[in-house]
Amino acid sequence: MFLSEIKLLLKRRRTEVLFILLLLEPWLLAFLIYQFGGGGGQGPNFLNLVTHNGIFLVLASLSSLLPLLLPLAVSLVSSDAIAGEASNGTLRYLLTAPVSRFKLLVHKMSSSLVFIFVLSVTISLSGLVAGSVFFPVGKVLLLSGQTVSFFHGVLLVLLSALLVGLSLICVVAIGIAISTFTDIPVGATLGTLGAIILSEILDNITQVRGIWPLLPTNYWMSFSDLFRSPIIFSGISKNIVNQVGWLIFAFSIALAKFRFKDITS
């Protein structure tokens, strides 16, 4: 069943197109930086670092994709979980196959989770290749000033890919929860994306500082802490707790809604 879900996901043209577009993003970014240089910007400025060391292209790509395009891609997949099956008319056939409703949710959830990690790792690999094609690579200068070997750097890059994948867990969980409430996949996608954008907006409003730690996007950029020595783990570990919390919370809502729902699609 789990493999069947993965196959179903990969056999869909839409998923393939999404993948290709997201894998091309680092190349586009590399080309733009190569042409026009790194420039300013806010936060840990990976763009500036790229010209010195191509390895940073991965981080530049991930941090530019994370606020919007990655949540969009992931919510397209996760919100399709139940709503998509309902709109195809396949949900009633899955449940009479029979597959238990709990298992169906679990398989949808786990295949979407695999999807986000595969996505973030392949984007990183694509960025690594693009970075080394366009820019010099070598020893890596950390944000905190020390230098580590190239391979150490690659390891850190792959770890950040995993942390970015981990940050997207909330998008999967919220998407699946919303998709149990509607039979219209587009509605579920927009709802999910809306929730993420709302979280990002609230994350910038200081008046609601009190709820920041609960927002699913609050610790998203914590992966850059990997590039300090010693690594600052407080943000990263808070992100893990936050994402797992959202996973449990949203899955409980999905299960509560879906368990006894009348399937009329």
Q: What angle do CA 70, 110, 21 make, to 5 degrees?
A: 25
Closest-CA residue to 199 (of 167, 224, 156, 162)? 167
- Which of 101, 32, 79, 69 shows the shortest CA–CA distance to 177? 79
The reply on whether position 17 binds other proteins by CB under 8 A is: no
**Shortest distance, position 22 Cβ to other proteins, whole Å:** 20
61 alpha-carbon distance from chain centroid: 12
Q: Least Å distance between CB 100 and other proteins?
A: 6
In whole angstroms, how close is the CB of 123 to other proteins at the nearest point?
A: 24
Site for other proteins contains 145 (CB under 8 A) = no
Rounded to the nearest whole angstrom, what is the least distance from the CB of residue 183 to other proteins in the complex? 12
Query: Total number of residues binding other proteins (CB under 8 A)?
Result: 26
Examine residue 152 and tell whether it contacts other proteins (CB under 8 A). no
Terminal CA-CA length for the chain? 22
Q: Does the footprint of other proteins cover residue 97 (CB under 8 A)?
A: yes
Binding mask 100-129 for other proteins (x = CB under 8 A): x-----------------------------
**Nearest to other proteins of 21, 99 (CB atom):** 99
Instruction: Indicate the DSSP class of residue 38.
Output: -
Give the three-state DSSP class for 176: helix
Three-class SS of residue 55? coil
Single out the segment in contact with other proteins by CB under 8 A; choices: 85-93, 148-156, 167-175, 179-187.
Answer: 85-93
Shortest distance (Å) from residue 111 CB to other proteins: 12
What CA–CA distance (Å, rounded) separates 236 from 124?
19
Q: Does 99 bind other proteins (CB under 8 A)?
A: yes
85-109: buried (b, 16+ CB within 10 Å) or exposed (e) per residue? Answer: bbbeeebeebeeeeeebeebbebbb
* Complex with other proteins: residue 145 or 262, whichever CB lies closer: 262
**Residues at the contact surface with other proteins, assessed by CB under 8 A:** 1, 3-4, 7-8, 11-14, 88-100, 260, 262-264
